[in-house]
Structure 1
Amino acid sequence: MILDGSIKAEAALADYAITIDDVRRAAEIIKGQVLRTPLVPSPRLSQLTGASVFVKHENMQPTGSFKERGAVSKLESLTAEERKRGVIAMSAGNHAQAVAYHARRLGIPSTIVMPENVPLVKAENTRSYGARVILFGETLYESADRARQIAADEQLVFVHPYDDPKVMAGQGTIAIEMLEDQPDLDQIVVPIGGGGLISGIAVAAKAIRPGIEIVGVEAALYPSFQNAIAHEDRPIGGATLAEGIAVKAVGQLPLPIVRDLVSEIILVEEPLIERAVNAYATFQRTMAEGAGAAGLAAMLAQPEHFKGKRVGLVLCGGNIDARILASVMVRELERDDRIASFRITTNDRPGLLGRVASRLGGLGANILEVSHGRLFLDVPAKGVSIDITIETRDREHTLEVFRALAADGLAPQRIDSRCLSETAY
């Protein structure tokens, strides 16, 4: 989606919740308290996308995401009396950990309300930072209502994850650092959840380099800003790998900034988010959660928009479960036909499996798994079926293996992720 560019950024800046001065003040406040993460050139991602890619590694923060910047900016703004009373936040993950971590460091009591279905590891991590964790509701919105009620009852300061000027200014410090390290960036690509990150970055980047293009990215299942800005009614909801940006309601303070200063919002589908997570792991040798990889997913979705440009990617978080990361990487190997499963049905005779294994070895394929079946009713009484999963160099190598087995008279049938394929190789 291309946004209305008719409003001049320079004239509108004063109307926003934050200005470049707010972001610069936040930069001074968080200095020494939040890691100044590196902006790293990525030749492999550049080759993959056709652009000159520079990655801002916010996954290197102690709690694994950019959220620490906004949390410190907000917590440092509290009065002595507010610090004594404590703070409360609602979050399903990164914001919770950032607030809890820095609240403990600053001696501020913290309470975090999380949905009841939050992964146990995230709740335990938050507790480990000294926070009182309350599990309430099935959704983040129910948790938010409960957090506001507790805040009122106990006189706690509510730390919103994105709809707060101090938080927005803190997130915007990323843009200052990126443009200090690489002043000639043409574009910055930013994942969008509630809008706190992209609004802070947009205000700062446009003030420093007016001609820079800010591109936002939403998960296709959660097109909240797309709906709000384009007055559309796309459905919102569903299981997404990018749960960090799975937000149903946009921030009211970020909304006008995104409307005016963000040139385009790209919606990315789940397979591309998975591919981007895998690309960060294999090409950049770094961990990216689904939301953190959304910017790269946008470049894969619309490479023509970025080709030949100097592009800054904000890898905003790396808190991905190891099991999910492993699953994503294996699924990508399957998509690339570097892992393939097939079935051979033939007469049962001594040495058959050994001969098949030797043949595959001679063809350069690595056997990952073998399943022998003699009792299936669709197999002749004197027959046998062998299901084999192999690893190959690439798609062409896989086809080469299947053709060779077919030429040997074994008639392999491909087994895809859903069922036995009708195609015999």
Structure 2
Amino acid sequence: MKNATIRLILILALLLAAGIIATQVYWVKKAYDLEEKEFSLNVNTSLRNVALKIWELKKIQPLVYNVVDQVEPDYFIVQINDHVDADVLGHFLSMEFERRNVITDFEYGMYDCMSDSLMNYHYIHMSGSNEPFTPVMNFPSLARENYYFGVFFPHRKNYIASQLSIWILSSLVLLCVLIFLGYVVFVILKQKRLSEVQKDFVNNMTHEFKTPLATIQLSAEVLKNPDIVQKPQRLLNYATIIDNAASQLALQVERVLQMAHAEKGEIQLRHQPIVWQELINEAVKGFEHMLLKKNAALHLHLPEAAVESTGDKLHLKNAVSNLIDNALKYAADNPIIDIHLKANNKQIRIDVTDNGIGIDKDHQRMLFRRFYRVPTGNIHDVKGFGLGLNYVKIIVKAHGGSVVCNSKPGKGSTFSLIFPKK
């Protein structure tokens, strides 16, 4: 499937998910509004019934107009035209709210015409809790000429939200489904990327093996000629060519095997005393032929005093060799490579600097990923598996160190291996 098609599918999936979430939010809000209206209706009806009971108790003619006034969403007042005992009022309120299934705590107070103030504050725990009463609402005095009482619901929002449990549950289920689908898409894209990386790796490996195999095959054809025995020098040259090509193949195979072991955490480090000057010189010695072939200059900046530590000499030498190999691969004409060895009481640092093409900052953070290679457009003149720097990072990390890249496009790169001094 093409990348453009995948991007289109992802955009459509995101739009669909956003639409589903927006629709769910809309209906949850509608459900909340309906519950809020039902709450207000039930409270109004309950308070009207309480007023009727008080008038019946006081033998007062019921008022014909609506005596319930909703001052705020959670504050109601009821005009009753007479004083009523606070305990009786609390009993009537609790009974009517329970009948209408308004099971939430409330606070009420009576307005006294004589003192022109609200008094006799009481708090009713409809949930059955016996927590001590703490005033919540500072009941305001309203412009009313007769007796009235006020009822305040401090937990109105929580009560209404509790009535939406099925909506909240369905929203959570929907959110979980969307998260799961998002994870599935992420896994599919990751598998696709790994498939592409695997394809690139196979292609790179094929090209890496193709050249030495072709060289071996060609040399073997020459050696089949019986007359070659009569020319010992020529025989020796082709045998050397075959040996070099076979060594190159063995090196590539060894790199792949090392990465396979590194991925499984099976690299066994053989710690031994190391003199870093000797290790770096041995690593450089393996590139003498390539340095001459590319007309490259390699400068060593090593301190006179021996820099010693412990570690796996073979793997550390391979790590340094990988950096030198990369410096030669991505170098411009007439490569110049500088290797600095620095040490103090805390750490040992090896800097490999080149004058190559450099690396863009966007690619530097992905350099040490397995199989990752910096894109070079349509130019494919640099061979490799994309394993070298990942191997370097694994080995350096296994020794308790770190690897750092400092590079700018067109101005070369510096790779630094930093180890703690032990």
TM-score, normalised by the number of residues in structure 1: 0.21
Which one has the largest radius of gyration? 2
Calculate the TM-score normalised by the size of structure 2. Answer: 0.21
Instruction: Determine which structure has greater relative contact order: mean sequence separation of CA pairs < 8 Å that are 6+ residues apart, divided by chain length.
Output: 1
Q: Larger % of helix: which?
A: 2
